[in-house]
Structure 1
Amino acid sequence: MRARRVIAAASVAALGVLSLAACGRSAPDVAAYVGDTTYSVDRVDEIYADVQAQYGDVVRQQASQAGATPSPEQLRSTVTRQDVVDLLVSLDLGKRVVAAKNLQVPDEITPQQLEQNLRVPATTEYAKLWGEWVDLLQVLNQQLPPADLSDESLMAVYGALTKAGAIDAGMSVADVRRAFGDGGFVRTATALGAALGEEAGRVDVSVNPRFRAVGVPSLVSTGQSVVFYSLPYINEDGPVTDISTPEPVPSTGSPSAEGPAPDQGTAS
């Protein structure tokens, strides 16, 4: 099933994202260009490798205390290089948006607060970047006017949540509307995607084809846990206009509009 994916008509028109093949911005060792800032593939690899190494160490320690031997799969974090690129690019664009709006971003969220739900050790650079991002995310969600709750934006977020395994695939628009209630988190996610997309077009963002669609790192509460997901908004060719809904996966609950702050804890 394919769900039409349009962040907002205005933002799609405003997105001027260029491909890496254009304007000489095609170095294979560059993951993304954001204006004059370059994010190298090596940087992405370093952040990713740090997550995997520290996560594996924590799992080994916990398994040793329980007298067990973890499998190779258990030693591997679910964090991907794409997740790292999503975070780096969105954080850069988000900082530009708050600077342009003269907004103050308080330093409130620590990596330790995210550790349990993010399932990444607080000492990793990835967790530290997420702490910065959540601080920025909270400010933008408060300051940006919520977007309309269109069927397109609703199904875009729904598709991203099914990909994250947070809700069953194959639901109708009517079913999704009932599951999402007032859809507050869809409105804010859509507004944020539009703002970052407009900024991407303004400063000229190019993404290495290896990383395909860059998404807004997002989180929402299901009432039982905090779900981390990514809502695509740019790719190597320009704005993302649709996404494929994956095969059905077991549901872990219906997302609520705004969840509590992530709990403090340890990776497991």
Structure 2
Amino acid sequence: MRARRVIAAASVAALGVLSLAACGKSAPGVAAYVGDTAYSVDRVDAIHAEAQAKYETTVRTAFQQQNGPSASPSPETLQIGATPQDMLNLLVGIDLAKRIIAEKKIPVQDQLKAEELGESFGAPGTEYAKLAADWYDLFLSLQAGLPPAELTDDMRATVYDKLVEGKVAPPGWTVEQQREAFADPAIAQQVSAVVALSAAFQEEVKREDVSVNPRYSTLEIPALLQVPNSGFGRYNLPYLDQDSTVTDISTPDPAPSTGGPDAGPDAGPGTDPDAGPGTEGTAS
């Protein structure tokens, strides 16, 4: 699979944090704490339920327009890809991002519109769409405002593993192929910025005593990657494991000197791992 297309479509890695009980906070109705701020399970579920209902209506309407008023899509087709976990990720991510931005006095610009994101998600006019727009504005501001981290082979491997986990990249790439996939200057700059953001979030988690209800497996940091001529792709990056141990990606070491050919803007998709990626990605 070619580097630009692989990375552009990337999605889903995770950030684990302490359980509520481990931090002395064990209210069953609370999904997560960020310092003294509590995000309720009811609110998380309500945001997801609204998005699911809107998505189902949107998909059903489009399906019937194409196949007749009596046609009915499969139950699987009617399920929105986002989960309650994703809603919690947005709530906590917005909270942490605002704290970092206020501390570091990073300017924020309104770059993404809730209406447009809602349409792309199939859930226009929902709180989910608004939260996503708010989050990505904060994310892009932090990405531009934080000093970038140096990339190591371990960091590249972490990102690559999540691409494979999301069924975006084929398994089996060597270290050299991973280096080539991230050699494009535009891609490397953005990934380095997200690694830096991951480290900043890890520090904020410690400072604000962030904790999550055990019913949610992890917290995730949603990220965007802009690929020339391909728009934005969504993916996530880990910075803590389930035992609150800092991962390698949060403690960057000097990167080895590596290089690789730039991916052309007209690179096409592929699935052969042997081809080499560098030859052508509020509280409640």
Give the structure-2-normalised TM-score.
0.74
Q: Secondary structure at the match of 2:48?
A: helix
Q: Secondary structure at the match of 1:75?
A: coil
Cα contact 1:214–1:234 (8 A) shared by 2: no
The answer as to 2:236 corresponding to 1:230 is yes
Q: Which residue of 2 aligns with 1:262?
A: none
* Number of residue equivalences: 235
Q: Which residue of 2 aligns with 1:12?
A: none
Q: Secondary structure at the match of 1:210?
A: coil
1:248-267 equivalence runs, <5 A: none
Q: 1:139 to 1:252 in 2, by over 3 A?
A: farther
Q: Secondary structure at the match of 2:32?
A: strand
Identity %: 47
1:1-268 equivalence runs, <5 A: 18-66=18-66, 67=68, 68-117=71-120, 119-182=121-184, 183-221=188-226, 224=230, 226-234=232-240, 237-239=243-245, 241=247
CA distance in 1 between counterparts of 2:80 and 2:248 reads 28
Q: Deviation of residue 175 (structure 1)? A: 0.9
Q: Deviation of residue 201 (structure 1)? A: 0.6
CA distance in 2 between counterparts of 1:100 and 1:166 reads 36
Deviations 1:23-61 (A, max 9, x none): 421222221110111111111111111111100000011
Q: 1:210 to 1:22 in 2, by over 3 A?
A: same
Which aligned runs of 4 or more in structure 1 are off by greater than 3 angstroms? 221-226, 234-237, 239-243, 250-256
CA distance in 1 between counterparts of 2:23 and 2:151 reads 37
Q: Which has the larger radius of gyration?
A: 2
Comparing 233-242 with 36-45, greater Cα deviation is found at 233-242
CA distance in 1 between counterparts of 2:157 and 2:221 reads 15
CA distance in 1 between counterparts of 2:127 and 2:174 reads 39
Give 1:50's aligned amino acid.
E
Q: Deviation of residue 144 (structure 1)? A: 0.5
Q: Secondary structure at the match of 2:199?
A: helix
Q: Where does the alignment leave 5 or more consecutive residues of structure 1 unmatched?
A: 1-16, 244-249, 260-268
Q: Secondary structure at the match of 1:90?
A: helix
Q: Deviation of residue 241 (structure 1)? A: 3.5
Q: Deviation of residue 123 (structure 1)? A: 0.9
CA distance in 1 between counterparts of 2:232 and 2:272 reads 10
Q: Deviation of residue 255 (structure 1)? A: 9.8
CA distance in 2 between counterparts of 1:27 and 1:252 reads 49
Q: 1:33 to 1:234 in 2, by over 3 A?
A: farther
Give 1:189's aligned amino acid.
V
Q: Where does the alignment leave 5 or more consecutive residues of structure 2 unmatched?
A: 1-16, 250-269
CA distance in 1 between counterparts of 2:40 and 2:277 reads 35
CA distance in 2 between counterparts of 1:31 and 1:234 reads 18
Q: 1:142 to 1:23 in 2, by over 3 A?
A: closer
CA-atom RMSD, angstroms? Answer: 2.9
Q: 1:103 to 1:255 in 2, by over 3 A?
A: farther
Q: 1:252 to 1:120 in 2, by over 3 A?
A: farther
Q: 1:226 to 1:109 in 2, by over 3 A?
A: closer
Give 1:154's aligned amino acid.
R
CA distance in 1 between counterparts of 2:233 and 2:167 reads 9
